[in-house]
A = this chain, B = another copy of it.
């Protein structure tokens, strides 16, 4: 955790404990810092799991093994290492992950495939096995902690702890989701860079849990970007203990399935926004809405081109209604667009319509909007009914300061 808190930070919410989920933290000492850096979450027998992972082809062993483990659908524990991503460390990195899986599985008397390991931090340094072994041993005997402490312990360059919660009625039973996430840089489309964990007491079949998580991912985590860079370790896992006692959800035909999926979506949306709000150096939260595209997918790509444009992001940092840079970003997206049908607005005020600056354009309300922390950019392509919304932050001196000397 960094000292200077993001100006866009949101206080950690009051988050209920989840029956069947026990988080604990310990100090493994992966870096020379005076804080806990290993999070261990024990999950009740019968817990199901789903996951989405980075598409970076140079992914870590944690991601490779996590993908395999999700396939069998059951989970008993989660271990998160902070300070060392263990990515690009070859067979030695993989051995460290397998050691943790074996150690926890031996303790719980479960299959090692039911132990999920994630690591975040610097790339290229094998996770030290001795520190991992001692850290895990400490964590197994540590007292239960609260969500905020767990959220703080999985963090690296984050400036505030991030959590979200929601409930849903499933066939007369109230089920609860509590979730934590870390991430503030190396954030990009196709699974934003981060580690996120959703825990619910609902009873959910693994395949349906995966269906809900994947659908939510498409419209939340895959719609945020801080710097267009995609981590080698990004992972979001959802765990369902079944302790709420509802009839297990297996498809959208089951009572309450829609409500549960909506709650998963809502939690993912909140988590995704929190990551953007902690974007490295961020001073403004930017929502980009694209309408009138030839398809939703096309709208998404146009939105991401805008959200990833350094020139758009620096203009917002400078509180400059430079819609010309938005036009540029639309044009470079490689998607169908017609300069003479394009409309651009900020904060609900059109600056240009149908390819021309508005004759009576009053920049005053736009200038006032851009002085705020919550910015909206509206783009209408005027071609079809495709639409999408994506979220990003501005690009400031803070981003440069954080990233020009992160490793040293």
The smallest beta-carbon distance between A265 and chain B, in angstroms, is 26
Query: Which B residues are in CB contact (< 8 Å) with A357?
Result: 88-89, 124-125
Question: A35 at the A/B interface (Cβ < 8 Å)?
Answer: no
Question: A228 at the A/B interface (Cβ < 8 Å)?
Answer: yes
Distance of A136 Cα from B314 Cα, bound (Å):
35
Query: Which B residues are in CB contact (< 8 Å) with A227?
Result: 310-311
Q: A400 with B317: in contact, given A308-B228, A311-B229, A327-B87 (CB under 8 Å)?
A: yes
Distance of A317 Cα from B230 Cα, bound (Å):
20
- When the two chains form the complex, which single residue of B320, B323, B329 contacts A124, counting CB atoms closer than 8 Å? B323
Query: Which B residues are in CB contact (< 8 Å) with A330?
Result: 57-58
Question: A30 at the A/B interface (Cβ < 8 Å)?
Answer: no
Interface residues of A in 100-152 (CB under 8 A from B): 122-125
Binary contact track A262-288/B, C-beta < 8 Å → 1, others 0: 000000000000000000000000000
Distance of A90 Cα from B343 Cα, bound (Å):
12
Q: A124 with B57: in contact, given A230-B328, A328-B232, A357-B89 (CB under 8 Å)?
A: no
Distance of A124 Cα from B88 Cα, bound (Å):
46
Give me 25 A-to-B residue pairs in the complex whose CB atoms sit less than 8 angstroms apart, sorted by A's number: A55-B334, A57-B334, A57-B336, A57-B337, A58-B327, A58-B330, A58-B342, A88-B352, A88-B357, A89-B356, A89-B357, A122-B324, A124-B324, A124-B357, A125-B357, A229-B328, A230-B328, A231-B328, A232-B327, A315-B406, A317-B404, A318-B403, A318-B408, A320-B404, A397-B397
The smallest beta-carbon distance between A96 and chain B, in angstroms, is 14
Distance of A309 Cα from B229 Cα, bound (Å):
6
- When the two chains form the complex, which single residue of B89, B123, B309, B339 contacts A58, counting CB atoms closer than 8 Å? B339
Q: A331 with B56: in contact, given A123-B325, A323-B124, A400-B395 (CB under 8 Å)?
A: yes
- When the two chains form the complex, which single residue of B92, B124, B188, B337 contacts A332, counting CB atoms closer than 8 Å? B188
- When the two chains form the complex, which single residue of B55, B89, B230, B328 contacts A186, counting CB atoms closer than 8 Å? B328
Q: Is B356's CB under 8 angstroms from A314's CB? A: no
Question: A208 at the A/B interface (Cβ < 8 Å)?
Answer: no
Query: Which B residues are in CB contact (< 8 Å) with A408?
Result: 318, 320
Give the size of the chain A interface in residues (CB under 8 angstroms).
Answer: 66
Distance of A356 Cα from B357 Cα, bound (Å):
54
Q: Is A352's CB under 8 angstroms from B311's CB? A: no
Query: Which B residues are in CB contact (< 8 Å) with A323?
Result: 123-124
Question: How many copies, total?
Answer: 2
Query: Which B residues are in CB contact (< 8 Å) with A395?
Result: 400
Q: A58 with B88: in contact, given A322-B406, A323-B124 (CB under 8 Å)?
A: no
Query: Which B residues are in CB contact (< 8 Å) with A339?
Result: 57-59, 88
Binary contact track A57-87/B, C-beta < 8 Å → 1, others 0: 1110000000000000000000000000101
Interface residues of A in 177-200 (CB under 8 A from B): 185-186, 188
Binary contact track A365-408/B, C-beta < 8 Å → 1, others 0: 00000000000000000000000000000011101110111111
Question: A254 at the A/B interface (Cβ < 8 Å)?
Answer: no
Q: Is B315's CB under 8 angstroms from A88's CB? A: no
A309: nearest residue on chain B (CB-CB)? B229
Query: Which B residues are in CB contact (< 8 Å) with A125?
Result: 357
Query: Which B residues are in CB contact (< 8 Å) with A336?
Result: 57
